[in-house]
């Protein structure tokens, strides 16, 4: 981003706008996909392919020499828009293949998402001397290859195609109390997750501020703390087969909420090894419940509207991440830095409330 901003002579404030444009594109894209029941009305593997190709092309659009700030915003927005046909549609494809063992299969899928999220921190260690355009060529090529792989995949045996778009499905899915419980549990999880990921480098810096003799390799530590969540997603899927999906998700959400509350003590009093160990543990429990909540959402959604249900829940969940990230941005000025992450406990507490109290789910 800094090199892109310099090359196009943009103000430094453009960084936040260009980053947010992708998120807003994804949110609007998921809304459109949900309202028009795209992944339920059409072959989800072909939807995945088309969106991967279009997303890759719009990602490459940033390289165009005649770009200005508005065209760059548009290209980033459209990249985010077509990501709506990747992540939630990928979960829809998995649910079409796995009725039993869905938590395990989604554990692998979300684990891949986690590694993708962590990868830029690792890339930052090795690509400081490489032109920024190379990153876009590389990621667009991977997106195209991923889409091509999906093109040759048949739709799952459990897929139920709707005959025409159901514009009421957007609202109808929330009438089922078990679905609401799953969805609102997921929303509480999302309040914490992306804010935690976004502020990990800052939190490591806060620790260094309290302990002047400590110096972390922040890029490497951020990659490890976020990336280890991929292993947790896979492990959580296997654990859920014996412990139950709901119970495993509740335990993970409880432990991550506890980490939020412990974080001020950790940053002030833990020694460096214990502090990093604490963050690695938090990096695991903060994401381990994500595929499990998606499993609960898919399980309790009507079979013919499963893709729509997953997409709308993703849309609302990612909208919530913008609110929590911006709130932490504001509170960085108002709060002592060691207390910043404790605000994230709001998510796990509310998620557990909806999961277990207001709209109880049957254990499964």
| pLDDT value for 328 | 87
Q: Which of 300, 293, 261 is nearest to 278 (CA)?
A: 261
In a 3-state reduction of DSSP, which class is residue 155?
coil
CATH 1.20.1250.20 correct for 2-158+170-358: yes
- The domain ranges of the chain are 2-158+170-358
| pLDDT value for 361 | 56
| pLDDT value for 103 | 84
Measured N-to-C along each axis, helices 272-288 and 245-269 cross at an angle, to the nearest 10 degrees, of: 160
What H or E segment, with its residue span, contains residue 8?
none
Taking CA atoms, 341 is separated from 51, 263, 337, in Å, by 35, 7, 8
Mean pLDDT for each 10-residue chunk of the chain (364 residues)? 82 76 89 83 92 96 92 95 90 85 87 85 74 84 92 86 61 79 93 91 91 90 93 93 92 96 95 96 95 89 77 88 86 85 94 75 53
The span from the CA of 254 to the CA of 130, in Å, is: 42
Tokens representing 174? 């929330």
| pLDDT value for 314 | 85
Burial code (b: 16+ CB inside 10 Å, e: under 16) for 107-141 equals bebbbbbbbebbeebbbeeeeeeeebeebbeebbe
Give pTM, 2 decimals.
Answer: 0.83
């Amino acid at each position: 981003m800094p090199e892109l901003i310099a090359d196009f002579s943009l103000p430094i404030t453009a960084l936040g706008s260009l980053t947010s444009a992708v998120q807003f594109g994804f949110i609007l894209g998921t809304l459109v996909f949900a309202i028009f029941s795209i992944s339920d009305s059409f072959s989800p593997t072909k939807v995945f392919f088309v969106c991967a190709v279009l997303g890759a092309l719009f990602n490459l659009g940033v390289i165009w020499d005649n770009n200005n700030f508005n065209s760059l915003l548009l290209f980033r927005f459209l990249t985010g828009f077509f990501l709506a046909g990747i992540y939630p549609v990928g979960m829809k494809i998995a649910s079409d293949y796995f009725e039993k063992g869905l938590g395990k299969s989604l554990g692998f899928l979300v684990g891949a998402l986690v590694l993708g999220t962590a990868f830029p921190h690792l890339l930052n260690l090795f690509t400081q001397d490489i032109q920024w355009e190379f990153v876009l060529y590389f990621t667009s090529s991977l997106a195209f290859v991923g889409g091509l792989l999906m093109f040759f995949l048949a739709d799952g045996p459990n897929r139920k195609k709707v005959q025409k778009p159901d514009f009421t499905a957007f609202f109808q899915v929330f009438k089922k109390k078990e679905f609401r419980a799953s969805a609102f549990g997921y929303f509480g999880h999302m309040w914490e997750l992306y804010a935690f990921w976004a502020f990990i480098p800052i939190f490591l810096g806060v620790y260094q501020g309290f302990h002047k003799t400590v110096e972390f390799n922040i890029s490497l530590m951020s990659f490890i703390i976020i990336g280890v969540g991929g292993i947790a997603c896979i492990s959580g899927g296997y654990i859920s087969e014996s412990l139950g999906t709901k119970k495993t998700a509740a335990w993970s959400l409880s432990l991550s909420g506890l980490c939020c509350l412990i974080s001020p003590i950790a940053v002030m009093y833990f020694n460096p090894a214990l502090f990093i160990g604490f963050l690695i543990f938090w990096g695991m429990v903060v994401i381990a419940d994500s595929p499990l909540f998606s499993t609960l959402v898919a399980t309790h959604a009507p079979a013919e509207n499963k893709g729509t249900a997953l997409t709308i829940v993703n849309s609302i969940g990612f909208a919530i991440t913008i609110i929590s990230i911006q709130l932490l941005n504001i509170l960085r000025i108002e709060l002592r830095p060691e207390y910043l992450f404790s605000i994230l406990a709001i998510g796990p507490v509310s998620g557990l409330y909806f999961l277990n109290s207001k709209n109880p789910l049957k254990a499964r």
